[in-house]
Amino acid sequence: MKIDSVNSTYQPNSGLKRKNQNFTGMSAMQREIMNAIPHRKAIEGMKSLEWLKGEIGGILLTALGTGAVAPIFIGFNPFVKAPKNATTEQKEEIKNTKLYTAMRQPISAGLAILFQASVQKYIDKGLDKVFHDSRMSELAGLTHDMQEFESIYAIEAKVKDQVTKAGLKKPSLIKSWFSKEAKKQRKEYSEAFEAGVDAINDAKINELTKGLKETGKIKIGKRHLDSATFTQVINKQIDEYIKDAKALKKTHEQIASYVERAELLVKNKDHLTEIFKEVPVEETYATTDEKVLKPLYKKTETILKDLVRKEPKDSPVQVILKEILDLPEDLRADKVQRTLQRIDRINEMCGEQGFTADRYQKALRNRNNILDDKIDKLIRAKVKDPSKLNENTVHKVISKVADICGVKDGNVAHDILRDTSTFGAKVDKLKDKVYKDVVKGYKDLIDKHALSMGQFTKIAVGVLITLPITCTALNWVYPRFMDIFFPSLSGAKKNNKESDNPQTRAVQMTGGEK
Amino acid sequence: MAGISAIDKAGLAIGRTIARSTNLGMIKNSDKKFFLDKERAIGAATVISILLKDGIGCAMYVTQSLNNKKIPEKKRKFVSALDLTNGVLMIAAQIGMFFAMRRYSGPLFNKMFSKSFDAVAKSNMLARLRMWGTKARKVNPDLPLVRTLESSKEFEKVKDIGSGLFEFVANTAAATIIGKRVIVPLIATPAASRVEKWMNKHMNSSETKEPTMTGNIVKSSETEASKVNATANWNSSTNLLDKIRQDQIK
């Protein structure tokens, strides 16, 4: 049972104490999901190869392929053979040419590592410095000026210092392969490190949110986010809320199936309540101890199997029981409880007049209508004219969006909207959330623009700087390298022997025939 | 100190130029595309990067190899022919693999990882998260609710992370190792022989034919004759360095 981790997971800003963090940049809930899926180990295995995804990793991987694999398929290519009538000398020449050409690959790979890896490594760091240092970033476009945020390199250095001071050590990867203790220490270190980074980032978002609430502006050094970009950010956020509302809507098919199931449940309410009494729901909910839970799971399974046996084969309740038995053991008791809760909810939605299929269908459609109404209002709340967006209108738009997202407390038709934090009964809380979401949207925008600039720079540097250097270096190094280390392949050895011949010497000296 | 200050100044000047460049229309356009659809923009950047880097690289390698007098003439055309076929096939392989991976890695991932990410697995996971949340709130009622729609979004994000990792590993294994380094050289080498033959036919047609990888072998006496011809040609060279060399030989 993951109760301990759930507890720690949902403690806001719990900092270094958080658990189950194996993946950088993941939210606490995402980490919980990752830890609970059957393919966790396979994904972790793939994750361990992810370092190859970076620029350096990519270059090394390509270099490995170029340097170690490709030469074999060039040098010993079975499709290139000397013709049948070729002399031994000619056959030897073809073999030499293949080997000579194949040797170009490892040399090319070595040079790629030397020039490309060394340059690429500094592009990200360099850009990071440019856009976080106000002396340079203030000359950049507003959406590239990241001076309000700390550089990730600076944050990492700061957190590394904190974690080290807290007495945590990070053993090497190789050490962690052979020692369980080292593996544990490494995991603890990574968890603490990621939590520290998250805490700093969260604090900055909160600080900017506070500023936005006070001033209606997003501060960027001495400047503020321009109204056109601000409009873009706000409207994109409203689109996200619209998406949430759309996701909650039920299709005609879903409504039909809900009604069918509701009829089955309501008709058998008393019977289900009676037979489910035996299932240890409360006991299962009361503990988090796996040792206590395991026998409870077994007990639930025995009871459910027994109920299936006792129930007449043509009984509609068989369907419900089998569905519950098909679930993983840890979810069965929970499903029993939710099935009974669902019956109450269906009745509640139909009101005092009680359940009928029509009434329930109407209630479900009513929910869709409420959502349609919210979607319509959200669309209309979008900023139409960026030139009219100022600090006052920013507050107005955000308040309006929060009002639209508000739902009436105690209204059953509105209950479904509480399945997302986008909608809720407390409008003030929603308003705070919208402010924060707008700031997060702004952060998302500048991150994407930074990515755009990074890609652009890497292509430009690659084409204009590293590529010509690597090509020229290869052109210079390759023949010389071959002459020195593989003279028999390059023909230098043969030419040395022939150097007594003045005609041959002339050829060599002019470099035309080596 | 003056030295450091000069470096600092130069660094600042470069940094300011880079910062100013973000106001260029080309970069603003790219920014817009990354903001609207990041995945699509990364895809476009990858294809442009392959076309530009590998395309220009291929052209440079071919030209430089062809004109590199340090490479034995007998091998020069084959080396440059291989640069050409290798470059062209590499571009085709990378772009082909890129689109193939985009199309097939998702369905392949869904098939291989269905136990973790199919509709049933998702529904069970959402129920589990809600249950853990309820249990956690029993211990600490201040904890926020675990909401289905949000859990669902988080689940999809985890699936995306898994799928992204799978795509990377599959791409590395299939494209980077097998495709680019095994299949391409395997095809590029015999293709280079054909290109070399073509080069011999169409380029420097006055020159004597050399043995080629496709078996266009000429008698060695002809090769010897070409050396004599070559020496004769140098006698008429206008290059001063060549003249000095020729004097030395005499």
A460 touches chain B (CB under 8 A): no
Are A297 and A329 contacting, i.e. CB atoms less than 8 angstroms apart? yes
A215 touches chain B (CB under 8 A): no
pTM higher than 0.90: no
Per CB-CB distance under 8 Å, the chain B contacts of A472 are: 64
CB–CB contact A456 B30 (8 Å): yes
Query: Taking Cα atoms as reference points, which of B150, B142, B130 lies closest to residue A12?
Result: B142
Query: Taking Cα atoms as reference points, which of A210, A23, A428, A429 lies closest to residue B144?
Result: A429
Per CB-CB distance under 8 Å, the chain B contacts of A43 are: 161-162, 165
Burial of B240 (0-12, 13-18, 19+ CB in 10 A): exposed
A139 touches chain B (CB under 8 A): yes
Per CB-CB distance under 8 Å, the chain B contacts of A457 are: 18
Per CB-CB distance under 8 Å, the chain B contacts of A509 are: 245, 248-249
**How do residues A309-341 score in pLDDT, each as one tens digit?**
998 888 889 999 999 999 999 999 999 999 999
CB–CB contact A479 B71 (8 Å): yes
Query: Taking Cα atoms as reference points, which of A402, A421, A404 lies closest to residue B151?
Result: A421
Q: Which of A248, A452, A510 sits opposite B30 (nearest CB)?
A: A452
pLDDT tens for chain A, residues 1 to 514: 344 443 333 333 322 233 333 455 567 788 888 888 888 888 888 877 776 766 667 677 777 777 887 788 888 877 777 777 778 888 888 888 888 888 988 898 888 888 877 777 688 889 999 999 999 999 999 999 999 999 988 999 999 999 999 888 888 878 888 888 888 888 889 888 988 998 999 999 999 999 999 999 999 999 999 999 999 999 999 999 999 899 889 999 999 999 999 999 999 999 999 999 989 998 998 888 888 999 999 999 999 999 999 988 888 899 999 999 999 999 999 999 999 999 998 988 888 888 999 999 998 998 899 899 999 999 999 999 999 999 999 999 999 999 999 887 666 666 666 667 788 888 899 999 999 999 999 999 999 999 999 888 888 888 888 888 988 999 899 889 988 988 888 776 655 555 445 444 433 333 333 3
Long-range contacts, B51-55 (Cβ 8 Å, 24+): B51/B91, B51/B95, B52/A459, B52/A462, B52/A463, B53/A459, B53/A462, B53/A463, B53/A467, B54/B87, B54/B90, B54/B91, B54/B94, B55/B87, B55/B91
Q: Which of B20, B70, B136 sits opposite A7 (nearest CB)?
A: B136
Query: Taking Cα atoms as reference points, which of A236, A220, A216, A221 lies closest to residue A390?
Result: A216
Residue B55, both tokens: 């395309």
Per CB-CB distance under 8 Å, the chain B contacts of A511 are: 69-70
**How do residues B141-169 score in pLDDT, each as one tens digit?**
877 778 888 888 889 989 988 888 888 88
Per CB-CB distance under 8 Å, the chain A contacts of B165 are: 43, 46-47, 49-50
What does the pLDDT read at residue A208? Answer: 95
**Which residue reads 């308040």 in tokens?**
A399
**How do residues B78-93 score in pLDDT, each as one tens digit?**
888 888 988 898 888 8
What does the pLDDT read at residue B179? Answer: 76
Q: State whether residue B209 is helix, strand or coil.
A: coil
The residues facing A224 across adjacent strands are: A219
Are A491 and B76 contacting, i.e. CB atoms less than 8 angstroms apart? no
Taking 60 as the threshold, does the pLDDT of residue B220 lie above it? no
CB–CB contact B143 A36 (8 Å): no
Q: Which of B82, B132, B150 sits opposite A421 (nearest CB)?
A: B150
The C-alpha of B215 sits at a distance from chain A's nearest C-alpha, in angstroms, of 5
Taking 60 as the threshold, does the pLDDT of residue B188 lie above it? yes
A23 touches chain B (CB under 8 A): yes
CA dist., res. A146 & res. A128, Å (int): 9
CB–CB contact A503 B228 (8 Å): yes
Range in A31-40, B59-68, B107-116, B195-204 the model is least confident about: B195-204
In terms of CA atoms, which chain A residue is nearest residue B37? A448
Per CB-CB distance under 8 Å, the chain A contacts of B72 are: 100, 490-491, 513-514
A7 touches chain B (CB under 8 A): yes
CA dist., res. A149 & res. A128, Å (int): 11
In terms of CA atoms, which chain B residue is nearest residue A34? B158
What does the pLDDT read at residue A492? Answer: 63
CB–CB contact A136 B245 (8 Å): no
Total beta-carbon pairs less than 8 A apart between chain A and chain B? 327
Per CB-CB distance under 8 Å, the chain B contacts of A242 are: none
Angle at A205 between CA A163 and CA B149, to 5 degrees: 100
Per CB-CB distance under 8 Å, the chain A contacts of B45 are: 455-456, 459
The residues facing A219 across adjacent strands are: A224
CA dist., res. B232 & res. B226, Å (int): 10
Angle at B60 between CA B57 and CA B63, to 5 degrees: 150
CA dist., res. B146 & res. B140, Å (int): 13
Sorted by sequence, the CB contacts under 8 Å of residue A196 that are 6+ apart come out as: A15, A16, A158, A159, A162, A163
Per CB-CB distance under 8 Å, the chain B contacts of A39 are: 113, 115-116, 162
CB–CB contact B161 A506 (8 Å): no
Q: Which of B117, B172, B186 sits opposite A77 (nearest CB)?
A: B186
